[in-house]
Amino acid sequence: MIQTPGAGRYAPSPSGDLHIGNLRTALLAWLFARSTERRFVLRIEDLDERSRDGVADAQLGDLCALGIEWDDEPTVQSRRTHIYDAVIDDLTAAGRTFECFCSRREIHAATTAPHAPPGSYPGTCRDLGEADRAARRAAGRDPAIRLKSDTDSFTITDTLCGEFTGAVDDFVLRRGDGTAAYNLAVVIDDGAEGVDQVVRADDLLTSAPRQAYLATLIGVPVPQYAHVPLVLNTSGSRLAKRDGAVTRADLAMVGVDDTRLLSLLASSLNLGTVGENLTANDVLRRFDPARLPNGPWILDPDDLW
């Protein structure tokens, strides 16, 4: 039997307008998917407390304007909380979770102690007895639910970055406010949507081992990863509002239309030249992962004109 490819995806958080770096990553995710005859799906990751009404529609409009089209209706995470809860219940029934009452400050203090792996959870609440848990609840602490991991590292293979081994600790599955954590929701949603190719910015590379490990626990295939370099400003920092015209709407106000924006993105990927009259499908016909630059794109405002 011939196995057909699954899907690629782009999954923005509706916390603000997409900037040129987000649009570049979306274009790359679409190029990787379409060039391998995969479906391309969108997911609105609106579990973040910073999510704002109306932002998702604006983000979808930006993608459409650049010729990035998708299959099916976008998935909205806030409509899937019952699914995340059911998976946590299954993991709990299998003895794979525990309640954690630690504050961020307490975790930070513990992980800055000598010999503690940077950023890892120190296991403070892993083996608490029921009496200790009851005392913390009585003190008004709402517990997060953490995975009880049986490994401290996991290795993934990335199309662009190669083999990468990252830390796996007892990471959060559900926050203390009852909201499913990113590392849980993204794995469940990828599995449900048949996503077998994950293209995203390389600042998320370190989260891939945790997600891949969790996928193996809940019976979801580990996707093929491609972590792409970020877009940075001339100071070498991530783009921010202080960098000026970085969103599509901002750029339009200063005379950079969608055609020029797409040519800028294509040029940054070694797939076109600035000012060239291109469509997304033109860029797709040229796409070859081997042509992609290895390092970040340093965005100089002078490049926009």
- Report DSSP letters for 98-158, one per residue: EEE---HHHHHHHHTSTTPPTT----TTTT--HHHHHHHHHTTPPPEEEE--S-SEEEEEE
Mean pLDDT value across residues 41-53: 89
CA distance 90 to 83: 11
Mean pLDDT value across residues 220-239: 91
Write the single-letter amino acid at 138: A
Answer whether 299's CB lies under 8 Å from 233's CB.
yes
What average pLDDT is seen over the chain?
92
CA distance 305 to 302: 6
Predicted confidence (pLDDT) at residue 226 exceeds the cutoff of 90? yes
DSSP designation for 238: B
Mean pLDDT value across residues 188-213: 97
Predicted pLDDT at 1: 42
Rg of the chain taking only CA atoms, in angstroms: 21
CA distance 205 to 213: 14
What is the homologous superfamily of the domain 81-228 according to CATH? HUPs (3.40.50.620)
| 80-83 contacts, C-beta under 8 A, 24 or more apart | 80/185, 80/188, 80/189, 81/179, 81/180, 83/188, 83/192
Answer whether 159's CB lies under 8 Å from 225's CB.
yes
Predicted pLDDT at 117: 63
Predicted pLDDT at 62: 97
Per-residue pLDDT band for 111 (boundaries 50, 70, 90) equals: low
Beta strands 7-10; 39-44: pairing state? parallel
Per-domain residue ranges for the chain?
A: 7-79+230-304, 81-228
Mean pLDDT value across residues 43-70: 93
Share of the chain above pLDDT 90, in %: 77
Predicted pLDDT at 239: 75
Same fold, 7-79+230-304 and 81-228: yes
Write the single-letter amino acid at 203: D
| Minimum mean pLDDT range among 4-8, 42-46, 58-62 | 4-8
3-state secondary structure 118-129: CCCCCCCCCCCC
Predicted pLDDT at 243: 62
- Buried b / exposed e over 39-65, threshold 16 CB at 10 Å, is bbbbbbbbbeeebeeebbebbbebbee
Per-residue pLDDT band for 126 (boundaries 50, 70, 90) equals: very high
91-94-97 Cα angle (round to 5): 50
- Please provide the size of the chain in residues: 305
pTM for the model: 0.92
- The CATH code of the domain at 7-79+230-304 is 3.40.50.620
Predicted pLDDT at 237: 85
Answer whether 146's CB lies under 8 Å from 121's CB.
yes
Predicted confidence (pLDDT) at residue 96 exceeds the cutoff of 80? yes
Predicted pLDDT at 113: 52
Predicted confidence (pLDDT) at residue 305 exceeds the cutoff of 90? no
CA distance 269 to 31: 11
Mean pLDDT value across residues 64-73: 96
| Minimum mean pLDDT range among 31-35, 177-181, 199-203, 242-246 | 242-246
DSSP designation for 221: P
For residue 145, list its beta bridge partners. Answer: 99, 174
Predicted confidence (pLDDT) at residue 232 exceeds the cutoff of 50? yes
Predicted confidence (pLDDT) at residue 116 exceeds the cutoff of 60? no
25-31-35 Cα angle (round to 5): 155
15-46 pLDDT per residue, tens = 989 999 999 999 999 999 999 999 999 999 99
Predicted pLDDT at 289: 95
128-179 pLDDT per residue, tens = 999 999 999 888 889 999 999 999 999 999 999 999 999 999 999 999 999 9
